[in-house]
Structure 1
């Protein structure tokens, strides 16, 4: 094998560069979200971003860290966007603020800052808020509600009363309710027909493939995540089609695509070895499906990620490649 010239150095990659590309990859999904569900998501992203930057600056000041260096790396903004995307688009502004503050202050800085947090900050925020405020975290615009931009902003900032008829369960909630009522689930995609969530999921898939192409993430985690979830969903669907949704529904419903490419791939709280990534992501996919179908929450990705975050040290320890020149003892 011949090399062109020396020195043979790896391409320079900074945190800012990585985070910028992650933000760019999220844009297609956010644009589809704003067009198909409503521009309330843009207000939520703005609230989350401002809160994250303020919290980041305050914690950096308390820890006597340089503000410009860490505020400019983009990590706080990525966390803010993920929190905003996973929260209901018409959630009250203070709920988004609470989630972002918990993600930045508690889940990130109280553990030592960027690179030290054992848990995914955005998923910590989601888990805390859905446990503490389950009603508010379940208020999504219902199909056919066609909320005007002004009305969405009124709900977000508390300028208008919330009407139960204008909010509804997510498709995953609707599916679970239908199955428990023994209404069955036939056809390829009855719940996703005309559903904006599937289009948004495909946009996140496109953004995730962009990250793989740019080598910001590797193929291991998305493949294992979606493969494990799809395999379990497919087996149960083939066994009892009337009792379980088909795998395409689960892959394009809820936060599967977002979780596979943007959440489980967090390099800090996830596994680091190639085999470890496969085990970690497969565990997330299986647990997320189990919580979705048999648990009390409509989507189990946040809890699945956090559970597998706990397992990361053990996974990495047993999947470390052999050191060159060393033999087993």
Structure 2
């Protein structure tokens, strides 16, 4: 853009903003809603929870500084360590099998000669999108304490005595772990299936020509190339297992927060916050849980990343 000065000469005027700066501002404006919503809904509650962990507050009266007393109360509570134990045990029983079974199911669903593949793919994903109310009804019938329940009937076929699934220590853990497995195995299967489909068929054809069977192809081709997807699912599964809340709460119903057979860490902090109105100890529990998640996620990710790595010969 140019203008005429007092002498009649043409002078180029300086633009207030260049096209590059305009594009940059436009880009920031497009992504701003996400960061604003994240700051209000995600970041602020997290920061406030850390602040609240050092306060004593029941939700109504003014806050009073408590220092590390909230952490001391939580760490000295036997029920907290019981909840940590329950969370780890149910996490292992419900998560580890679904990762292994998910890889096998994904490999089977990718076979070219399998009929009705699309039907099976949709069916295996259905539990993930099923309402938790429906899940509660299904598993309350399957794992009923009555001798005629399906779970007790199957045990009777093998000569075992009926189990009180909703009241016994290990019966409750096994039932909830099976519920977690049933609900999430399809989710991991679909992720693995997407990873398998990204592998070139030329590798499988070459392996078939060399005489490799399906198991050898799974072991030496699929698994190494599926490693990034395995790391992803292990990370998400670890975080989800340590935040277990919906399944035990729905399965045990109203008595979930008064018994310790399946009390998880998230249930423990929920009880402190909304049952006992002790938001300080609940926030301290959340901070401790954050460190537990970081430690377990780092260990599992390092272990998974090291799978299949050949040692160098010295």
Does TM-score exceed 0.5, indicating one fold?
no
Structure with more of its chain in helix, by fraction:
2
Instruction: Specify the structure having the higher radius of gyration (Cα).
Output: 2
TM-score by length of 1: 0.24
TM-score by length of 2: 0.24
Higher relative contact order (CA 8 A, sep 6+): 2
